[in-house]
A and B are shown apart, each in its own frame.
Chain A
């Protein structure tokens, strides 16, 4: 390969790098495990949650009496909810290069296990989990919460 075509390839590759990094930006995470009845409330619609389903900011996960669900966020946070739980992913912003971001979630009801990810590691003020009566500042890393008992 000559120098010119190599240079052209370099330019094209750089342009592609920018273009291809974008599509995943809207996804904030993904459903990785699911048992029993689980749904996702998105923009007023109730969708059945499937393993592999991408998640968006403002999604609310709801598990039935036999349900549980586990999700991995783009910053590597792991959230998993037990039966009869309602979990809202209120806000999620994440810069994969700097690890800067903001993650706010609310457990309205039920049980939740959390392993915090890069957002909380980068900045101890950047991840907040609320329940109807409490606010948790997540310094890291591994904890469980219940709400509404």
Chain B
């Protein structure tokens, strides 16, 4: 029986077609990859759980940080910096930063300049004071203020995309007409 199993495994190993290794998530989130081949299916759901791809289906195995580095070092070294998100807040009904966010803006710009080819997505939001039309325009104006400030500091205008979402995507859900400082914001995604 064991001999048969060994022979089967040896048979599997005779034609390696590749491999898959699950890595630990940088933020500790749950992570999993389902590997499917003609010969079967395998779920990788632990760090360094691995699958050898063979002509008889995926074969479970375990890898390590060292083995991954040896085989995938160049691919991992080429990985772009992870996108970073910032949130800046505004004074009620206006497209002016709060004092705190005026200072935080410097941090956003530092993150942008660390990247060789930054692209920036700016999404403006409002609270629920005012009409939908007013808030659509205000959210857009808030995002525009950020765009202008970034361009003024030297970021290429064509690397910035600006969007206004009005009051549709609150951080804190409120009734209509309620002022809520945490919803008066611009989200800046730096990639």
Give residues in A with beta carbon < 8 Å to B. 9-11, 13-14, 16-17, 20-21, 24, 30-35, 51-52, 68-72, 76, 78, 80-83, 85, 96-97, 111-113, 115, 131-149
Contacts and interface: CB of A to CB of B under 8 A. Distances in A.
A131 B76 contact: no
B102 interface: no
A51 B32 CA distance: 30
B162 A20 contact: yes
Contacts of A81: 75, 78
A80 B148 CA distance: 32
A78 B80 contact: yes
B35 to A, nearest CB: 6
B19 interface: yes
B155 interface: no
A139 B164 contact: no
Interface of B (DSSP majority class): mixed
Contacts of A33: 78-80, 116
A27 to B, nearest CB: 9
Contacts of B11: none
Query: 3 closest pairs, A vs B, by CB?
Result: A10-B137, A32-B80, A82-B74
Nearest to A112: B75
Contacts of B116: 32-33, 51-52
Given A13-B137, A68-B75, A78-B79, 15 more contacts: A32-B117, A33-B116, A68-B78, A81-B75, A82-B74, A111-B75, A113-B79, A131-B17, A136-B20, A136-B34, A136-B36, A138-B33, A139-B34, A142-B25, A149-B19
B137 A142 contact: no
Given A132-B17, A144-B20, A113 B140 contact: no
A133 B17 contact: yes
A112 B22 CA distance: 12
A140 B29 contact: yes
Contacts of A82: 72-75, 78
Given A17-B163, A70-B80, A76-B191, A146 B19 contact: yes
